[in-house]
Amino acid sequence: MARRYSLEKFPLGGNVENYQPGILAPVPMVGRYLNFSLRAGVEPRQSLLELIKIADGTRLVVGIGQPATFALKRTVPGLRPFPTQFGAGLVVPSVSLALWCWLRGDDRGDLLHASKKIVEAVSQAFCLDSIIDGFNHAGGRDLTGYEDGTENPQGNKAAEAAIARREGAGLDGSSFVAVQLWVHDFKMFESMSSQEQDNAIGRRKSDNAELTDAPSSAHVKRTAQESFEPQAFVLRRSMPWADGLRGGLNFVAFGRSFDAFEAQLKRMLGAEDGVTDALFKFTLPVSGSYFWCPPMLGQKLDLRALGL
Ligand code: HEM
């Protein structure tokens, strides 16, 4: 029988529990990311109402980009375009997408059928730009072989990092997700010695132990969440992706705002001290988008903030 992942729900300290459950649930065995842009001049009201009928927040997590909120003449406080500059003299890619659908499951066939339904439901206003197929690799490792997600906040702390509250009805329970497609240069990575690789991440691949003497360019030194002021916790739900011989990480970070993610990326780019994250030696982002993940009202997406 097919293995079904179980959905864990974490209480939000007596406050709200109306977030899309798939955000806090463990990373699934397979995932599919559908990236949509907005058709010129089309108001997305009808398409979003169709989407509400099929989005359960668990097997399908939905994010809405600023082009869609603008077309509805609405503003979601905190939702903004993905920045291209972080003060480091480097430009990172930013793609202005209108809709992001993260399909979660354990069977690729199911995800294909669900994708077709979604594309059809929203086709009046949204145009499918790209599909990224994600999967679980070696029990939760990036394609470089390093465990990913070790320092993610857990339980209530995960909800605290990822879910907005005290923002009012229609916004409480929402989340802000940063998505970047990273493409690995496997040839370059494999040319590095295992010590160079461990130093680039700041952890030992063999046992995931954190290196005490890692260089300041090590990825986990750049991004150590407790080292920021204020502390910069996000909930990472990234998945490896592959297409033919290309592959990498579809980086996905949920936050109660984009601030923590921006603080981390800024430091990775060397904006504070001129030290660039060693990750950039063997991998590069080729996209970058921000989305607002609406809360739930009962079993359905709550789009009151968009006037729906
Ligand atoms: C290809 C891109 C990336 C790869 C392969 C990667 C891989 C990893 C790995 C292996 C770890 C150590 C284990 C863990 O705690 O998860 C880690 C930690 C972390 N990464 Fe990344 N990462 C990537 C991009 C990013 C980006 C773009 C950000 C944010 C801007 C980020 C933020 C973090 C954070 C916050 C931690 C935990 C740091 C801590 O508090 O110890 N990562 N990453």
Q: What is the pLDDT of residues 171-195, one digit of tens each?
A: 999 999 999 999 999 999 999 999 9
First to last CA, the chain: 40
Cα angle 225-227-228, degrees, rounded to a multiple of 5: 80
Ligand 1: distance of its center to the CA of 219 in Å? Answer: 7
* Distance, CA of 269 to CA of 272 (rounded, Å): 8
* Separation of alpha carbons 275 and 217, rounded Å: 6
Q: How far is the CA of 224 from the centre of ligand 1 (A)?
A: 9
Q: Which residues line ligand 1 (CB under 6 A)?
A: 142, 146-151, 180, 182, 201, 203, 219-220, 223-225, 234, 248-249, 251, 253, 261, 264-265, 268, 279, 283
Instruction: Indicate the length of the chain as a whole number.
Output: 308
32 alpha carbon – ligand 1 mean position (Å): 21
pTM for the model: 0.95
Which residue's CA is minimally distant from atom 35 of ligand 1?
223
Q: Measure 122 CA to ligand 1 centroid, in angstroms.
A: 33
Maximum distance among all Cα pairs of the chain, rounded to whole angstroms: 56
- Pocket test residue of 179, 198, 223, 286 for ligand 1, highest count of atoms within 8 A of CB: 223
CA atoms of 118 and 59, how far apart (whole Å): 12
Distance (angstroms) between ligand 1 centre and the Cα of 148 equals 7
Do residues 283 and 250 make contact, with C-beta atoms less than 8 angstroms apart? no
| Long-range own/partner contacts, residues 166-170 (CB < 8 A, 24 or more apart) | 166/15, 167/77, 169/304, 170/295, 170/302, 170/304, 170/305
The pLDDT, as a whole number, for residue 26 is 96
Ligand 1 atom at minimum distance from 141 CA: 10
Strand (E) or helix (H) holding 275: none
- Give the per-residue pLDDT at 90: 83
Q: What is the pLDDT of residue 86?
A: 87
Q: How far is the CA of 95 from the centre of ligand 1 (A)?
A: 21
| Pocket-testing residue among 27, 144, 151, 272, ligand 1, by greatest number of atoms within 8 A of Cβ | 151
Distance 107 CA to ligand 1 centre (A): 27
Q: Is the dihedral of CA 110, 116, 121, 126 positive or negative?
A: positive
Task: Name the stretches of the chain with pLDDT < 50.
Answer: 1-15
Region for residue 68 given its phi and psi (left: phi exceeds 0; alpha: psi -120 to 50; beta: otherwise): alpha
Predicted confidence at residue 88, as pLDDT, reads 82
- Distance, in Å, from the CA atom of 235 to the CA atom of 223, rounded to the nearest integer, reads 13
Scanning the structure block, which residue is given the tokens 């320092």? 151
Contacts of 226 (CB under 8 A, 6+ apart): none
Query: Contact at 8 Å (CB) between 46 and 124?
Result: yes
Nearest CA to ligand 1 atom 43: 148
